[in-house]
Amino acid sequence: MAKTIIKNIDWVITVDEGRRVISDGAIAFTDSGLTFVGKTSDLGSEDGAEIVDGRGLLAVPGLIDTSVAVAQQLGRGLGDLCDLPKYRLERVFGYEAALTSDDARWAARHCILEMIRAGTTTFVDTGSRFPAEIAEVSKEMGVRGVVGRACQDIFETAMGECPSDLARETVGEVIARAEKWIKAARIAGGLITPCIAIPWLAGCSQDLGAALADLAKREGVIIVVSAAASRDEAVMSRMSYGQTEVERVAQMDLLGKGTIVSHAGWTGPSDLPLLQRSRATVACCPSMSHRLGTGALEYGRYPELLAFGANVTLGSGSAMASNFVDVARQLYLFSGGNKTFRLDATATRPEAAVEMATVRAAEALGRPDLGSLEAGKKADITLFRCTTADWVPLIHPIQNLAFSSRGGADTVIVDGRILLKHGKLASCDETEILAQSQTRAEALAERSNLARFAQPSWTVVA
């Protein structure tokens, strides 16, 4: 059980109960967890420990991204310039219908590579048909993952029909496969936690939703459901069911403390007390709202939900929806978006955004051992280099993290294992991952007939 000490850290943002921000701090850890977080001057014996110089660094708890469609990583650029119905039915489902098991593995490697470089130590996958591949890669690369198999039994909706080559599944088939995945994930253990994933509520019938609620209770797993992401889905829910999507989630008994509702940017007045009373978590994906024009930040009630005592966290969406998978960059988009759309420079302090990517996210996962830097918790640590042009001068470390940093972690540690050290990856071959991703993405774009949507409007000279 080797001990490592990072000392003389410029700033340690603990996000502990006292919300301590420590200058000239130190962190000691083993693979069993954190053993010391405090002032360097208060360190005890350093005998036998590996000493790391933390000068010029800022430490935060390992960042948690609560909404990522990992398997969509090879679709970057294929979801541009279209309305939500086309994005969902034509682009996403067209891509997923053409995705192979090997493609999914390389998509996961690339997505997790991007997350590690961003400082993410735990992610919540919003669901695909390749949970085993995503889990395998996550363990291989050393990152914590909450992974579920996509659950869907409706393929013809008021919004339109899914591509014919996307395999159809019945309620019974969906439940059997979800249950099989949960059992397989538990046997594998380690860094992976299984969940039930509903990536598109419009594709989930009332019968399937009720059956999934029963399965979640029986197996004691969390539910990850994407709902109320856009006006199109809000209108479709009222047309088809006479209620909001959040009301649908509640009616199917899917809404509770163990539920993460991705997006929830189009909520009605009755949805707000529903979300607050249920103790469910809302995962806001600012970059997806900006990129797809869903209006979630403009019309979502995220600051209000926070003020009412609801749990709100941050997610990146996907490479198809957001074009980047970096929860640290969401800090600025969330805080800045709330200020500009409310014409209120005091809306959403940077401290609130940092809580959303750390302790609030840990609460959503039911993981009190994550989300803050405190002795006894897991050794998940992200360090940023804070002596660069975008950080200096550094007077208010949390404000600089949220508003000044260009992103990109210096060092990332998960469960005491160093995955990234001073910008160099220890857990994977980045060159091979990027080469494979480029080749496979090009082939996938052609095979799915989506390449035609990723052409510049200007003349391309080959």
Gap between the Cα atoms of 32 and 389, Å rounded: 36
Q: Is 182 helix (H, G, I), strand (E, B) or coil?
A: helix
Query: What is the Cα gyration radius of the chain?
Result: 21
Residue 254: pLDDT over 90: yes
User: Where are the extended beta strands (E) located within 31-128?
Assistant: 33-39, 50-53, 57-61, 63-68, 120-125
Residue type, 195: C
With the CA atoms of 372, 406, 339 and 302 taken in that order, what torsion angle do they form, in degrees rounded to the nearest 10?
-40
Give the separation between CA 286 and CA 196, rounded to whole angstroms. Answer: 23
Contacts of residue 248, defined as CB under 8 A and 6 or more positions apart, other chains included, come to 201, 206, 209, 227, 237, 241
| Confidence label for 318 from pLDDT (cuts 50, 70 and 90) | very high
Per-residue model confidence (pLDDT) at position 1: 65
Reading the block at residue 392, the tokens are: 């200096």
Nearest C-alpha neighbor of 70 from the set 5, 15, 19, 120 = 120
Q: In whole angstroms, give the CA distance from residue 386 to residue 409.
A: 10
pLDDT value of residue 462: 83
Strand ranges (E), 345-427? 381-385, 411-414, 417-421, 424-425
User: Which pLDDT score is estimated for 130?
Assistant: 98
Share of the chain above pLDDT 90, in %: 94
| C-alpha 248 chain-centroid distance | 23
Instruction: Determine whether domain 4-61+373-425 maps to CATH 2.30.40.10.
Output: yes
> Which range has the worst mean pLDDT, 30-39, 42-51, 226-235, 299-308?
42-51
Which residue ranges does the chain devote to CATH 3.20.20.140?
A: 63-364
The predicted-structure confidence for 271-295, as pLDDT tens digits, reads as follows 999 999 999 999 999 999 999 999 9
Tokens of 253: 């008994």
Residue 439: pLDDT over 90: yes
Express each pLDDT in 391-429 by its tens digit: 999 999 999 999 999 889 999 999 999 999 999 999 899
Q: Which residues contact 220 (CB under 8 A, 6 or more apart)?
A: none
**What DSSP state is assigned to residue 419?**
E
Residues 262-290, buried b or exposed e (16+ Cβ, 10 A)? bbbbbbbeebbebbbebebbbbbbbbbbb
pLDDT given at position 104: 98
pLDDT in the model for residue 189: 84
Reply yes or no: is the peptide bond before residue 194 cis, omega within 30 of 0: no
The token duo for 280 is: 């469910």
Each residue of 126-156: pLDDT tens digit?
A: 999 999 999 999 999 999 999 999 999 999 9
Nearest to 176 by CA among 205, 213, 149: 149
The residues of the chain that CATH labels 2.30.40.10 are 4-61+373-425
Residue 163's Cα: distance from chain center in Å?
A: 27
pLDDT, the chain, mean: 96
Share of the chain above pLDDT 70, in %: 100
pLDDT of the residue at 413: 98
CATH superfamily label, 63-364: Metal-dependent hydrolases (3.20.20.140)
